[in-house]
Structure 1
Amino acid sequence: MIGLKQGDKSESVAYLQELLERAGHTPGKIDGDYGSKTVAAVLACRKAQGSTANSGTPITGSAGAQIMTAFVKKVA
């Protein structure tokens, strides 16, 4: 799942969208299409996990480990 980005279309994207929704970040329709609403949900999730522009890593709409961390914290 890590490494997904806007424009991707797959079952992995649908799974990411489900995780985002469960973590409280609405990605829009869960359809496996990594569109602008999924990007916005990923950005919100990353910011909620403490990502900042000053962390040395730019905040992008690409999915990374922070999505999984947010999900695990939410359901734990």
Structure 2
Amino acid sequence: MVGLKLNDTGERVKYLQELLTFAGFPPGAIDGVYGARTADAVLDCRRSEGSNATSGNSITGAAAKQILTAFVRRVPR
């Protein structure tokens, strides 16, 4: 997931979109396209984890950690 950015496509983007959806931040369609709605979902998810990020246009290590943390919080125990 690290290294993904706006306009990327493919299975890695689908994985990101699935994580966001299950974490409660649906990016719209799970279509493998990192578009504006996926970027918005990334930003919303990161902010929910306390980030001061201003854009969801790319996935850094910090972003990946925040997304995975949000996902884990939603997994039933």
Q: Which runs of 5+ in 2 are unaligned?
A: none
> What amino acid does structure 1 have at the position aligned with 2:2?
I
Greater Cα offset, 63-72 or 29-38: 63-72
Identity %: 55
Instruction: Give the aligned partner of residue 25 of structure 1.
Output: 25
Provide the secondary structure at the position in 2 that maps to 1:21.
helix
> What amino acid does structure 2 have at the position aligned with 1:15?
Y
- Normalising by structure 1, we get a TM-score of 0.85
Provide the secondary structure at the position in 2 that maps to 1:17.
helix
> What is the CA–CA distance in structure 2 between the aligned matches of 1:3 and 1:69, rounded to whole Å?
18
Q: How does 1:28-39 map to 2 (within 5 A)?
A: 28-39=28-39
Instruction: Using the TM superposition, give the Cα deviation of residue 13 of structure 1 relative to its aligned residue in structure 2, in angstroms.
Output: 0.3
Instruction: Using the TM superposition, give the Cα deviation of residue 59 of structure 1 relative to its aligned residue in structure 2, in angstroms.
Output: 3.3
Instruction: Using the TM superposition, give the Cα deviation of residue 45 of structure 1 relative to its aligned residue in structure 2, in angstroms.
Output: 0.1
RMSD: 1.2
Instruction: Give the aligned partner of residue 60 of structure 1.
Output: 55
- Normalising by structure 2, we get a TM-score of 0.84
Instruction: Using the TM superposition, give the Cα deviation of residue 72 of structure 1 relative to its aligned residue in structure 2, in angstroms.
Output: 1.2
> What is the CA–CA distance in structure 2 between the aligned matches of 1:46 and 1:18, rounded to whole Å?
15
Instruction: Using the TM superposition, give the Cα deviation of residue 69 of structure 1 relative to its aligned residue in structure 2, in angstroms.
Output: 1.2
Instruction: Give the aligned partner of residue 55 of structure 1.
Output: none
